[in-house]
Structure 1
Amino acid sequence: GNKKKEVQGKLAEAQKLLNTLTAKEKAALDAEQARANRSSTERVDLKDAPPASGRASAAFSAAQSQIGKPYVYGATGPSSFDCSGLTSWAYAQAGVSIPRTSEAQANAGTRIYNQSDLKVGDLVIFYGDMHHVGLYAGNGQVLHAPHTGAVVRYEAMGNMPFQFGVRI
């Protein structure tokens, strides 16, 4: 049974190596994520796009106050948010009730298909199945709760497949 012990030893060694590697990779990924979170929670140049309305402006300000809060699936604030949790919470602060999910929010107002017609505070819907939503921030930026492991932050609209905007 010496051969078996040797093989098991080699296997254990390989597993250990694999574990340290994934820990290293995970650390690298975490660092990358932290960097992305940091750079996009600082002041982004939003230019001076006018808000869609007073309500949209109030909703956008509310969302800005949540920058740096963690993304948690199903969360509707105020300590953590998912994408549509953030947008519905933000509009609620402006006294406007919109549906809870990104798919329902896609139908909550007037659709805007041309990105250049977007105004600050408009909802912006991403992906063909409309599973992601954020608030238009001006200058080609979206303010959103991206995904698990990320925080509420600004991001370039071009990083995701834009479908249309929704003016509430």
Structure 2
Amino acid sequence: MTAQIHVPSLISRAGAVSALTLAAVGGSMLAPGAASEAHAATTVHAGKALKVAASKRGAPYRYGAAGPSRFDCSGLTLYSYKKAGKKLPRTAQQQYNKSKHVSRMSRQRGDLVFFHSGGSVYHVGIYAGSGKIWHSPKSGSVVRLEKIWSKRVWYGRVR
């Protein structure tokens, strides 16, 4: 839901003119800091994808697997977002290319975390908050929650 202000109580002179003009023509203004409907929907999908990934704790790694019981890294993110109603491409690099890139300071729970070497992405997980990700790390391992171990990461938001 978008927060709207039709008659702001304390606004600058320039803001008052804009607000009055909008009110006269039947418009509305977004309140500063209010989430747009699109952003709110993205947050819902991200939260659901994060819960799906966490529910797969202990599932074995298998190269090329995308669930429901075995996963590689990008298979886990693809499966989690598919269950949340969003479509992702298959590989970590393709997922990076399709996501909206966000800064470390702007990252949110449910964002994708891409590990890279140079310009190539080689691993992906789902940001869980507090510097941790849900991921399917490597052969012989299982889906788990783990601290981000490298500073060489990029963040992406699924649209």
The normalised TM-score by structure 1 is 0.66
From 131, 136, 139, the equivalent of 1:145 is 136
Question: Match of 1:73, SS?
Answer: coil
Alignment of 1:30-49 (within 5 A): none
* Alignment: residue pair count: 116
Q: Is the 8 A contact 2:116 2:154 kept in 1?
A: no
One-letter amino acid of the structure 1 residue matched with residue 79 of structure 2: W
One-letter amino acid of the structure 2 residue matched with residue 121 of structure 1: G
- Structure 2 match to 1:111: 101
CA drift of 1:162 comes to: 3.1
From 144, 161, 166, the equivalent of 2:156 is 166
| Aligned-residue CA RMSD (Å) | 1.5
Question: Match of 2:64, SS?
Answer: coil
Separation (CA, whole Å) in 1 of partners of 2:75 and 2:151: 20
- Structure 1 match to 2:122: 131
Structure with greater Cα Rg:
1
Which structure's residues are more often helix, by fraction?
A: 1
Alignment of 1:21-100 (within 5 A): 53-100=43-90
Which structure's residues are more often strand, by fraction?
A: 2
- Structure 2 match to 1:33: none
Which ranges of structure 1 fall in alignment gaps of 5 or more residues?
1-51
Question: Match of 2:97, SS?
Answer: coil
The normalised TM-score by structure 2 is 0.69
Separation (CA, whole Å) in 2 of partners of 1:120 and 1:81: 21
Separation (CA, whole Å) in 1 of partners of 2:139 and 2:61: 5
Runs of 4+ in 1 over 6 A off after TM superposition: none
Give CA-to-partner distance per residue, 1:74-93, whole Å, 9 cap, x none.
01111100000000000000
Identity fraction in percent: 42
